Amino acid sequence: MVEILKDSAAAQPLRTETIAIHEDGIINICNAEYIFVQQMYGTSTNTTTLEKQNKEVVLDNYTYHGQIQKIGKNLIFIPKTWDIGLKDKFRSSENIRGKQKVISKIFRSDDFKTDFLKNAR
C-alpha cells in the first residue's frame, strides 16, 4: 500500500492505493511529470508516420514541437515503454537494420528542458 500526501490535520491519508507491479517502469509516488520523446535514426524518404505524431507540449510557458508527450502526472506507476532511461542520453548514432529506427527516451520534466536548451545551441 502507498500513502500519498498525508494531511497533518487528518489521521487519514488523502490518497491510498495498492498496486501490484509485474513489469519494469517508474514508481511515481510524487505525481511528477515526465516527458516521453521519440527520435528517428537512419535514412528514409518516408518519414510521414513519425511526422504525423508531432505534438505541441507546453512546459513553463515554452512550447516544444516534435514526437513528444507528457506522461506520469497522476499515475502511481508508469510502465516502461521507452528504450533509453532517465540517466542515459540519446546516442549520436545508432546501428540499424533497414532504412530507419525510432528510439524513445523518458526525461524528468526539468531534465528535458535543460537537455533541449543545451542541444538547441
For 23-38, give one letter per residue: b (16+ CB within 10 A) or e.
eeebebeeeebbbbbb
Express each pLDDT in 57-104 by its tens digit: 888 888 888 889 999 888 888 999 999 999 998 877 777 777 778 889
Express each pLDDT in 20-29 by its tens digit: 888 999 988 8
What CA–CA distance (Å, rounded) separates 49 from 35?
Answer: 20
pTM for the structure as a whole: 0.72
CA angle 77, 78, 84 (to 5 degrees): 140
